[in-house]
Chain A
Amino acid sequence: MTAGAWLRERFPVDGDQLRELTNEPVPAHLKRWWFCLGGTPAYLFVVQIVTGILLAFYYQASENGAYESVRHITEDVAYGWFLRGVHKWGATLMVASVILHQMRVYFTGAYRKPRELNWVVGMFLLLCTLMLGFTGYSLVGEQLSYWAATVGANITNNVPVIGPTLGRLMIAGDQINEQTLPRFFILHGAVLPVALILLLFLHITILRLHGVTEFGATEAEKKKTFDFFPDHFLTELTIGLVLMILLAVLATVYPVTMGPPADPLSTPEVIKPEWFFLVTFRWLKLMPITAAILSLGFIFFVMLVWPFVDAWIRRRRPASELSVLVGILAVLAIIGLTTWEALVDH
């Protein structure tokens, strides 16, 4: 009995079936790289899992140990600075590519019937990614970590009705204490990644069931496809390598540093969250806290149900380009607020 036959007997999957399962025809427009932005965050997510597991070998999620353990990783352990750098830059690129992917989907109308639900799933993936970013930089034990967590907790506290309960639950008390970091660590290292994996599974399943949105001027063009394997796989591999090069260079040229350790008694003069929260941070400065939270909640809700809103509008006025206009305005607003917050001290 050959080894192949031995294995097939114990793992009864037919090679042809497997091939069919993985090898869906890919629409021709995916030859263009900007249609591959969905695969990019997925690839980076794998990088984050691998580097994250490695970092977790040394990281200590305790009030007194966190900063020192991160410093130990960064300064003492072989290649520690590099792996931490890749993890940090990976996070940045992941958030960036998620946003770009979402923008692509939005402006090409790929969320429309019958793919509304996948947009909703995508919104939750975005939420998970941002929460991973937030919990991630809270773990370092720097001033920024401490005060970001504090601000985050206080934002939560101000959510009407459930806020105070949620806030206490999040940081295990009324203020940051020795129970806070373990919570953030479990969220960052277990709960959120698992949620993300499940959502991703759902995301891809829905995608596979509907097939990738087809574009093209004519029906014939729409029908033009190519093989997933090996053709599209090689494209993804190319993107993956470019990302790896980018990460390695970024981690070396802009290495991670250690900020001042957390000091509960003094908030730094200038405190800024990571870039992907700058827009929220500025929003919070523009209006009273409750108004800001309610409006943020409202904006998230509108984004969540936008496919249905869009469908409603298009039923009334089939030629409406309102969604594009709304999208441009939203992008401009986000860029504007982010730049504003990035440029000023307070």
Chain B
Amino acid sequence: MSLTAKQVVIALLGLLFLASLVLVQYTEVMRREEEAGLRQHKVAIPESSKRCYECHRQTNPGIAEHWIGSTHAQKGIGCIECHEAAKTDADAFVHEGYTIATVVTPRDCAKCHPKEADEFQNSHHAKAGNILHSLDNFLAETVEGSRVPFDPHSKTPGRPDLDGKVNGMASAFTGCQQCHGSLVGFEGRDGKPVTSKDLKPDAEGRPTDLEALARIVKNADGKPVFSAGSWPNTGIGRIKLDGSRGSCSACHSRHDFSPRRARQPENCGKCHLGPDHPQKEIYDESKHGIAYQDLKHKMNLDAKDWVLGQDYSAAPTCATCHMSGHSKNGGVITHDPGPRISWAKWPPISLVMGTDINGKVVTEADPAKRNELVKDSWQDKRSRMTQVCQHCHTQDYISAFYKQYDDFIQLYNEKFAKPGAQIMKELGAKGLITKTQFDEDIEWTWFYLWHHEGRRARHGASMMAPDYAHWHGMYEVAERFYEEFIPQAREHCEKGRAAGKATEADAVLALIHEILARPEHAWHKGEAK
């Protein structure tokens, strides 16, 4: 190459170098603009929420910080997007120029997450509040508390504000409703709370009973005043003023709405623990929970879809087995934890999870009618769960496990649950105990037997926690049955006989005798006498 040619090449390369530096300059300018907020930054505070953010960042830094860390913040979903309300909404109020509502309902979330909200609406979880508010919550509202406010026994020194009536509903509010969900309501002018039952919301969630709407008490700023106990509440079946059921924040805590957190067992442990259904503790004891504790760092908990078998395989959490997508179902996640559960273990006698068109457990005994009613059989549910199991276990292993599980449920049902339920029914039918619940020792005994110990045993068996299946479970069920339940049942018969109900007492005693003479109880020589 001649020297001139070289010089030309160098000149051209120099220009090319300059061009590449122009590219550098362009990138630098882009970065500066992004920094100056002219371009969208990773955290995007929407214009509409700027004022909210500025003020609440100072007054409630926790809320602001959680939100900043959320995917919502990255995608520019601010305060208004979720808290915005229509003027016609029962809970709407004007705050700093915006019409908003305090409680964000699944209807609000469904604006962007319709599929998730829909699945959740159909779940047993979403109905947890209805169960509580439609049944007679006698235990918490009467036995533990009082439905009628009553006078304090004596004054509490230093707290003159506590001199008024005692709120007997406190246990129901703070205990039951924080898991099951409250019936969210406002103070009414007549002293009665205004809830969705009064407002009768239409399909759009707007109140139709304007008289009820007018009864709502508002404070000086025009903000409606929540009725005592109904708020704050993150119970999963919370019933909102717009009539929508459930609370997304029960699992996806506000204000960061972290999928990561909902995937971890501690999240479910907010409610699924304690003496009556210690699923979280059972899980902790199981090989699944042990593996999770050890391999948590391999769980890829921040993955976008978190598909078992693709994003992780280290260990299962509650969500993995009951809700999450996996490689054998195309990664489809559901917000209804029911469809993979084949035994309903919450009632005194476990039920086969054949569900009808509304998702209710079919209790019909006649095979033909049953077949007619069941739309989603226990086999369907079990095969769904089996798909999950197959990620780590062979089919032989899974079938053998389910044999152990079925045998255990049947043992509990047949040896203790069905006889116990029958005796309780007969005692009531024959008038040997009162209709009022929990006013006789045997009613507490029976409740402990099925609601606490019986469930512990069955849940322990379902999730491989031997200690819960046995020591916290069947051992206590047996002791309760032989040492308390049967003697108390006999005692009530004797009391009845003394009160002139000899025929009734003899009938129940004959039933008890018949039950105890069965081969599975025959070992109990003390009873045979």
Contact = CB atoms under 8 A, between A and B. Distances in A.
> Do A and B originate from a single complex?
yes
A31 B2 CA distance: 11
Contact of A252 (B6, B10, B20): B20
B8 to A, nearest CB: 11
A241 B10 contact: yes
A40 to B, nearest CB: 15
9 contacts: A31-B1, A230-B3, A231-B3, A234-B3, A235-B6, A237-B10, A238-B9, A242-B13, A252-B23
Interface in B1-30: 1, 3, 6-7, 9-10, 13-14, 16-17, 20-21, 23-24, 27-28
A252 B24 contact: yes
Contacts of B1: 31
B518 interface: no
Interface in B285-335: 297-298
Nearest to A266: B297
Given A79-B28, A248-B21, A252-B27, 15 more contacts: A82-B24, A82-B28, A230-B3, A235-B6, A241-B13, A241-B14, A241-B16, A242-B13, A245-B13, A245-B17, A248-B24, A251-B24, A252-B20, A252-B23, A252-B24
A185 interface: no
Interface string A52-88: 0000000000000000000000000011011000000
A230 B3 CA distance: 8
A266 B28 CA distance: 35
Contacts of A230: 3
A268 to B, nearest CB: 10
In this complex, the member of A241, A244, A249 whose beta carbon has the largest number of chain B beta carbons within 10 angstroms is A241
A9 interface: no
Contacts of A231: 3, 6
A248 B28 contact: no
Contacts of B14: 241
A238 B13 contact: yes
Interface in B26-44: 27-28, 31
A266 B23 CA distance: 39
A20 interface: no
Contacts of A14: none
Given A81-B31, A241-B14, A242-B13, A234 B6 contact: yes
A269 interface: yes
Given A81-B31, A269-B298, A241 B17 contact: yes
Contacts of A237: 10
B506 to A, nearest CB: 72
A245 B24 contact: no
Interface string A210-239: 000000000000000000001100110110
B6 A79 contact: no
Nearest to A244: B17
B11 to A, nearest CB: 10
Contact of A248 (B6, B20, B297): B20
A31 B3 CA distance: 12
Contacts of B6: 231, 234-235, 238
A266 B1 CA distance: 57
B315 to A, nearest CB: 15
A245 B12 CA distance: 12
Interface in A257-282: 266, 269
The winner among B1, B3, B27, B298 for most chain A CB atoms within 10 A is: B27
B13 A234 contact: no
B298 A248 contact: no
A159 to B, nearest CB: 33
A242 B297 CA distance: 45
A249 B23 contact: yes
A320 B289 CA distance: 66
Interface string B349-389: 00000000000000000000000000000000000000000
